[in-house]
Structure 1
Amino acid sequence: MATDDSWIWDGGRVCLDFANTLRCRWRATPEETLRNPGDLSLWLQEAGLLAPGGPNHIDTTVLTSGRRLREAADRAVLAVADGRLPSPADVALLNRSATQAPRPALQIAITDGRLEPAGTTSLTTDPLAALALVAQDAVELLLSPEIGRVRVCGADTCALRFLDRSPAHNRRWCSMSRCGNRTKVRLHQARARRDHPAP
């Protein structure tokens, strides 16, 4: 079973973080982090979509559906970010899944002696409903101006997806601490070898 530290949460949207559960997409055989139903259950819990300790009945059918949703969302987001239309099949899958999302529950808080809205929660005990929240997030992103800020990490051996919210809209790495620094060190070492060749 995967551990929560094997997942990366730098996507900026839950649908991008979900797409990033398939790693090393540049390889002939990418690295799957959702290897079994327990991995999917744990990911949905860590993402704040699935209530821990509930029935959480995830079987291989739900896992297959989750992987299919992940790939449809990934293809659709990358297509629209690139100025193309997604495939009708991917649109249909996203729409079908998004309709199963639970209605977000409005929360209240008492602040300074008054009732105020405290946001919403969509936490569910149904894994398919949790996956529907991922689909709903993908649909919202596809229709949002933010779709033009979706990027793929610039490191040669990464390919993680993320939303560029940097002020200058020029973020290149999924994470500076992971890919950005490694790439800069590698380029610096290559320049040093070129400028100061060994005798």
Structure 2
Amino acid sequence: MIDERALLEALNSTPVVDGRPQDLWADDAALRRWAREHGGTGDAPAIDRLRTARDVLQAATRGPVPEAELQGMLAGVRRLPEVGESGLRWRLHVPPERMLAVELVLAWFDVEERRPGRLRPCGNDECHLFLLDRSRANTARWCSMKTCGNRLKARRHQERARQGPTS
């Protein structure tokens, strides 16, 4: 099952390391492992769909939501109620090779609905990561204060120091 943590793992699977973009999901074996850890099959069609879902969700989080792509990913998906000993639960009906990608998209929509405006790209333009702001004031700007936040603050300080005092 895809929860907020797994959603962030997926969105953050294309970090910039030493100034170069990486794709942690480029390796089929690594993505297969991730898929299995989250209840997926890990077969070739499933991991291809996961990569596509990740790319579309990254684009949706950075800018306008690509509605046509998201609708295509959710086409034919049904949620049906099931009553059991533990109460009511919603069962997702989708072909197995689409299941994890659909769950990823649904998790993204769930976060957008429950925490509007809190899932966003890092404020560092050189970073490709995302954050889910859980602060009360909704003021988090960086994926990590330790890396991006401190780096940008130090860079701004150096720029002000180079410019000298203003009159």
- Is the pair's TM-score, using the shorter chain for normalization, greater than 0.5? yes
Q: Runs of 5+ in structure 1 lacking a partner?
A: 1-11, 109-116, 118-125
- Supply the AA of the counterpart residue of 2:148: C
2:14–2:24 Cα contact (<8 Å) kept? yes
Could you state the TM-score of these two structures normalised by the residue count of structure 2?
Answer: 0.68
Deviations 1:22-80 (CA, angstroms, capped at 9, x unpaired) = 234xx9x943211122121233356xx138xxxx4422x3332111111222233444x
RMSD between superposed Cα atoms in Å: 3.8
Confirm or deny that 1:146 pairs with 2:87: no
Structure 1 residue 181: deviation in Å?
Answer: 1.6
Structure 1 residue 145: deviation in Å?
Answer: 4.4
2:33–2:42 Cα contact (<8 Å) kept? no
Rounded to whole Å, the distance in 1 between the matches of 2:59 and 2:142 is 20
Total equivalences in the alignment: 154
1:31 match: 22
Rounded to whole Å, the distance in 2 between the matches of 1:92 and 1:67 is 16
Could you state the TM-score of these two structures normalised by the residue count of structure 1?
Answer: 0.58
Rounded to whole Å, the distance in 2 between the matches of 1:57 and 1:14 is 15
Where in structure 2 are the equivalents of 1:8-27 lying within 5 Å? 13-24=5-16
1:5 match: none
Q: Runs of 5+ in structure 2 lacking a partner?
A: 88-95
Deviations 1:170-198 (CA, angstroms, capped at 9, x unpaired) = 111011122112222222333344449xx
Equivalent of 1:50, from 39, 47, 55? 39
1:95 match: 74
Rounded to whole Å, the distance in 1 between the matches of 2:72 and 2:27 is 22
Distance 1:78 1:100, change over 3 A: farther
Q: Percent identity?
A: 27
- Supply the AA of the counterpart residue of 2:117: G
Distance 1:20 1:57, change over 3 A: closer
